[in-house]
Amino acid sequence: MNKPTPAAVPAAFNRDIKTIVNAGLQRRHAAERRFRSYGLIAISLGLLFVVLMFANIIAKGYPAFWQTYVQVPISFDPAVIDPQGIRDPAAIESADYAALVRAGMRRMFPAVEGRTELRALYALVSSDATYELQRRIHQNPALIGSSQEIWLLASATVDTLVKGNIDRTLDETERSVKDNQIGWVDKLQATGKIEKQFNTILFSGGDSREPEQAGIRGALMGSFYTLLITFLLSFPIGVATAVYLEEFAPKNRWTDLIEVNINNLAAVPSIVFGLLGLAVFINFFSLPRSAPLVGGLVLSLMTLPVIIIAGRAALTSVPPSIREAALGMGASKLQMVGHHVLPLAMPGMLTGSIIGMARALGESAPLLMIGMVAFIVDVPKGIMDPATVLPVQIYLWSDLPERAFVERTSAAIMVLLAFMVLMNGLAIILRKRFERRW
């Protein structure tokens, strides 16, 4: 560093203070303006990226909330459903409903002939159509013998075509939907036999390999059970730890060590907790793989440090005068904490836990190790059923080749983001309404 030469110092002293200040004033103002504009640029860049990301996801994902249906005239032929005419439930259950769907499709396009042509025609409706008819008969056996116009789920390629995501000008070999299929779809559209309805399957169905039948309910319920376990475990333990460390524990080297370790744990990559979960909960306690119980345990290990740190911060923000007043009135230390300090710190603690839970909701890496990155069709009904969670579902869908999963992936991201915004919004409301400032 350059030290001022002894001769320069007295010269500076002789100068008028005002001129020095005035000389530097413009520079200082300019520096301030620069700093502000940097800040503005940083914020607007951040906002721009957020807006871009949201616009991209919403633009890709919103068509997934509608699903194409085809109206097919189905005749519930007793000769197919109940050939013996004795209404045997087992026979009705296992009847060839696919034949009814095929007959219905042929009825709409009687001119179509030949094996390949017919196969292309049948491919317009989803494979779920068969099960849909089965369900209807199961609910209402009186339908046997009647003829009905039924809205059946269209296949994913038809859905993509109707939504305009397939370029019709391309060569036939380069698109998944063929010229004759486009012709049929256009004809159906002209006669109003194709309709887009709200996609209830997306919210009521489990995972499926057929895009049009895939839903996020399984993943949502998995996330719910996992977070439930996480909250039930990490909140009480986290609060108890924070209270003990802040209010009761002596300040010595041991508590310092514990504090350093808790802060470290908060920064450990989440996959490490997955490995720990695999070793302890699955291999040692032999809990089932892929269960929300184990997922919740692993995620609570991850959220605990966050809750403890937030809880301690909330406790320290309660002014010491409250404690002293309680103790002065003859309250025991436990009463002081339980009756006065904890209620005042609770909004801060809840805010911290909700933010920790929001992080746990978006976590997928630690769940790979414990088997929650899985294809699970049945919606989980409890904490021991195999389940997956929302971020994992997004990851799995994004990796599938079918084009129609692209929009569903984005739709699932939108649902996840909505939950994140809800949780963080709740945290802000709690803080605004209940937090007291001294």
* Cβ proximity to another protein, 306 vs 396, nearer residue: 396
CB of 71 to another protein, least distance (A): 24
Distances from the Cα of 212 to the Cα of 198, 268, 357, angstroms: 12, 39, 31
CB of 283 to another protein, least distance (A): 9
User: Binding string, 391-430, against another protein, x = CB under 8 A?
Assistant: -----x-xxxxxx--x------------------------
Question: Residue 150: beta bridge partners?
Answer: 72
CB of 153 to another protein, least distance (A): 14
CB of 116 to another protein, least distance (A): 10
Which residues have a Cβ under 8 Å from the Cβ of 343 and sit 6 or more positions away? Answer: none
Q: Hey, which residues between 366 and 395 contact another protein (CB under 8 A)?
A: 368, 371, 373-378, 384, 386
Q: Which segment (59-67, 80-88, 229-237, 253-261) binds another protein by CB under 8 A?
A: 229-237
* Cβ proximity to another protein, 102 vs 403, nearer residue: 403
Question: Where would I find the H helices in 123-279?
Answer: 128-139, 156-162, 179-190, 201-204, 217-243, 253-266, 270-277
* Cβ proximity to another protein, 23 vs 240, nearer residue: 240
Distances from the Cα of 331 to the Cα of 260, 320, 334, angstroms: 32, 15, 8
Distance CA 184, CA 189 (A): 9
* Cβ proximity to another protein, 77 vs 210, nearer residue: 210
* Cβ proximity to another protein, 248 vs 254, nearer residue: 248
Phi-psi region of 290 (alpha: psi -120 to 50; beta: other; left: phi over 0): left
The secondary structure of 32-63 as a DSSP string is HHHHHHHHHHHHHHHHHHHHHHHHHHHHHHGG
3-state secondary structure of 69: strand
The only residue of 31, 240, 325, 329 in contact with another protein, by rule CB under 8 A: 240
CB of 415 to another protein, least distance (A): 20
Which residues have a Cβ under 8 Å from the Cβ of 422 and sit 6 or more positions away? Answer: none
Query: How much is the CA Rg of the chain, to the nearest whole Å?
Result: 32
**Beta carbons of 377 and 34 less than 8 angstroms apart:** no
CB of 288 to another protein, least distance (A): 5
When asked if residue 173 is in the footprint of another protein (CB under 8 A), the reply is yes
CB of 39 to another protein, least distance (A): 32
Burial class for 99, CB neighbours closer than 10 Å (0-12, 13-18, 19+): middle
CB of 242 to another protein, least distance (A): 12
The only residue of 176, 180, 189, 270 in contact with another protein, by rule CB under 8 A: 176
In one-letter notation, the amino acid at residue 136 is R
Q: Hey, which residues between 251 and 310 contact another protein (CB under 8 A)?
A: 281-282, 285-290, 293, 297
* Cβ proximity to another protein, 358 vs 379, nearer residue: 379
Distances from the Cα of 208 to the Cα of 278, 373, 396, angstroms: 27, 14, 11
Question: Residue 153: beta bridge partners?
Answer: 69
* Strand 194-198, strand 66-75: pairing: antiparallel
Per residue in 108-136, is it b (16+ CB within 10 Å) or e — as a string? bbeeeeeeeeeebbbbbbbbbbbebbbeb
CB of 140 to another protein, least distance (A): 21
Q: Hey, which residues between 114 and 143 contact another protein (CB under 8 A)?
A: 131
* Cβ proximity to another protein, 71 vs 398, nearer residue: 398
When asked if residue 144 is in the footprint of another protein (CB under 8 A), the reply is no
When asked if residue 164 is in the footprint of another protein (CB under 8 A), the reply is no
- Straight-line distance from the first to the last Cα atom of the chain, in angstroms, rounded to the nearest whole number: 45
The only residue of 95, 124, 175, 357 in contact with another protein, by rule CB under 8 A: 175
* Cβ proximity to another protein, 366 vs 386, nearer residue: 386
CB of 200 to another protein, least distance (A): 19
Please work out the total of residues on this chain that contact another protein, with binding judged by CB under 8 A: 43
Q: Hey, which residues between 180 and 209 contact another protein (CB under 8 A)?
A: 208-209
CB of 285 to another protein, least distance (A): 4
Contacts to another protein by CB under 8 A: 131, 166-167, 170, 173-176, 208-210, 233, 236-237, 240, 281-282, 285-290, 293, 297, 368, 371, 373-378, 384, 386, 396, 398-403, 406
